[in-house]
Amino acid sequence: MKIDTMKKLSLILLFFGLVGWSQTETKNSPEFKFDQTTIDYGNIEKGSDGYRTFVFTNIGNAPLIVSDIRSSCGCTIPEKPLEPIMPGKKGEIKVHYDTNRVGAFQKNITIYSNAKTVEFTIFIKGVVVTK
């Protein structure tokens, strides 16, 4: 019976230790807050400027580090911030869409970071029209 009590006590201590650790991780996590998560190019002429910028704020309590960004297509090239974004500060993700492709488009850009949401997706859409 003494062994069962020891096991229960060990499990209880382990549980509270994990709960305390996870709360510490949450309190000290960076977090994205985007001004907008979708940029609509609208109707854009073929060959025109395909650059757009997503602006976000780190509303967390630790530096936000973007480790990688991937787009759903080679026609969309995202640029990640090179430096950590400190709590309360703004950062930018620049996106270039190849406007030499005529027609409607809708693309995903997936951001990988140390934020609470490790994998976050933003979007671009629009229609490239001929001049």
Both tokens of 41, joined, read: 């190019």
Statement to judge: residues 51 and 100 lie in one domain: yes
Statement to judge: residues 80 and 24 lie in one domain: no
Statement to judge: residues 19 and 60 lie in one domain: no
What are the residues whose beta carbons fall under 8 Å from the beta carbon of 108, sequence distance 6 or more? 71, 72, 121, 122, 123
pTM to 2 decimals? Answer: 0.77
What are the residues whose beta carbons fall under 8 Å from the beta carbon of 97, sequence distance 6 or more? 41, 50, 52, 75, 76, 105, 107, 124, 126
Fill in the DSSP letter of residue 46: T
- Its domain, for residue 24, covers 1-30
Statement to judge: residues 25 and 43 lie in one domain: no
Statement to judge: residues 18 and 69 lie in one domain: no
Q: Per-residue confidence of the chain (131 residues) as pLDDT tens digits?
A: 566 666 666 666 555 555 444 444 456 799 999 999 999 999 999 999 999 999 999 999 999 999 999 999 999 999 999 999 999 999 999 999 999 999 999 999 999 999 999 999 999 999 999 98
